[in-house]
Chain A
Amino acid sequence: MILDFDVIGRSLPYLWKGFLYTVELTAIASIGGLFFGTLLALARLSPFKWLSWFAAGYVNLMRSIPLVLVLFWFFFLMPQVLQLITGGERPPQIGAERTAIITFIMFEAAYFCEIMRAGIQSIARGQVHSAYALGLTYGQAMRLVILPQAFRNMIPILLTQTIILFQDTSLVYVISATDFTGAASKIAQRDGRLIEMYLFVAVVYFVLCYTLSYAVKMLQRKIAVIR
């Protein structure tokens, strides 16, 4: 077996493009997921029964099926739904990359919902009552009093979930989107250099994720002292 690590240098620009997509997907999905996840958490905790049932049903459904299957579902359904919205003659093709972004936002929303729910429930109930007593509306109480604290309490867990998301984005491979892993895999198969490429990808992910989770651990320690 002769290893030829030159293949990495040769394909670096292509790998970099894939890596940028991975980062973009992670960033958009975590911000979008956090936004919709917070809305879902508020819905789950709402006194309206049907709203909380709907949110709980969505979250439980998303959490009980594999991400690969969710990707297949969206990849197949998205053109049909878009056709319904635009009313066009043919289903519009939006490509695997954009499908992946929407899928990850929807999927991560379920996971961020559970984190935000725990965050909201960690705030003392008296604070809601105090906010109402001061004359704040529900929206104001949530936006100005509860959510900022819930968010701050959950920052380490939210960041950890984002690191997991960063790793999970590699699964867009199954719908042939070209993220970092996808780019490496394409080069690996074209040049017959599977060993070098996959080892390189593993090392890059390991170094990044290890560093990031170490940083989160340090942050957690810092926050823990303040509280």
Chain B
Amino acid sequence: MKFDLDWGIFFQEIPGGGETYLDLLISGLWWTLGVSACAWIIALVVGSVIGTIRTTQQPWLVRLGNAWVELFRNIPLLVQMFLWYFVVPEFIPPLKSWVVAAEPAEAQFLSAVLCLGLFTSARVAEQVRAGIQSLPRGQRSAGMAVGLTQPQVYRFVLLPMAFRIVIPPLTSETMNLIKNSSIALTIGLAELTFRSREMGEYTFHFFEAFSAATLVYIVIAMTANRVMALVERRVAVPGYIAGGAK
């Protein structure tokens, strides 16, 4: 294999701009992180609500929650991305007129955030439901017995414990979300993978460009892992689950 490896390529200027290729990749990184962060908030909020209602005693709420999860889990993310970007605005006239007037990057960002957020919400919902159902049945009964209402039982008894249980699976969902954000390149969002391919196409130094992107993804994955481990330790209940293991 012969590659003309040139690691100095990152500091060369891109054609027609005062920026270097490194700046190009960094701008992509910000989009990756921005999309992931916004989508993560949606996923956590919506996923918690959907996951919780799937454990209630109202059959129609449970069915609604199940339908939500099945809908987002059984369509490929790429197709969902196309649906949010090309199809959904056509059915909502005010959104359509906004998309037409907005900067392309803004419309791509909104589509990607909604798509990734709701897709991940279905997966978070599954984890939250499993977390709540893994609690001993007696906890719910005990909550009811001391006179708490159903919402109070969730608020003060079940959810605080369930959320601690689901931190490890949520960590891997967070990393999946960051990786999945690369699919936004199919609708033109200039995130990290998009920029690294662009850099390869400009310079023919694909090897260096993809190596840089790979390295950044590994660093992000490791950082997310550490941050979630820190959160897990901070919120641990002493003597319970992971709380005892120091």
Contact = CB atoms under 8 A, between A and B. Distances in A.
A16 B82 CA distance: 20
A1 interface: yes
A69 B71 contact: no
Interface string B190-204: 000100110010000
A30 to B, nearest CB: 16
Contacts of B193: 66, 68-69, 72
B78 A65 contact: no
The size bracket of the interface on B is 35 or more
Interface string B75-113: 111111011001100100000000000000000000000
A181 B217 contact: no
Given A167-B77, A170-B79, A83 B213 contact: no
A111 to B, nearest CB: 12
Contact of A66 (B73, B78, B217): B217
Given A65-B214, A174-B186, A194 B87 contact: yes
Interface in B1-60: 1, 3
Interface string A54-72: 0000000100111111001
Interface string B224-241: 000000000000000000
A205 B79 CA distance: 9
B86 A195 contact: yes
Interface string A185-227: 1000000001100110110011001100100000000000000
Contacts of B221: 64
Contacts of B78: 170-171, 173, 181
B218 interface: yes
A29 B120 CA distance: 25
Nearest to A203: B75
Contact of B210 (A76, A173, A195): A76
B214 A69 contact: yes
A84 interface: yes
Interface of B is mostly: helix
Contact of A213 (B74, B179, B197): B74
Given A174-B185, A195-B90, A205 B210 contact: no
10 contacts: A64-B221, A67-B182, A68-B185, A69-B217, A73-B210, A76-B206, A83-B1, A167-B77, A181-B78, A210-B70
Interface of A: 1, 61, 64-69, 72-73, 76, 80-81, 83-84, 167-168, 170-171, 173-174, 181, 185, 194-195, 198-199, 201-202, 205-206, 209-210, 213
Given A181-B76, A194-B86, 18 more contacts: A64-B179, A66-B179, A67-B182, A68-B183, A69-B182, A72-B206, A73-B214, A76-B206, A76-B210, A83-B1, A84-B1, A171-B76, A171-B78, A173-B78, A195-B90, A198-B82, A205-B74, A210-B74
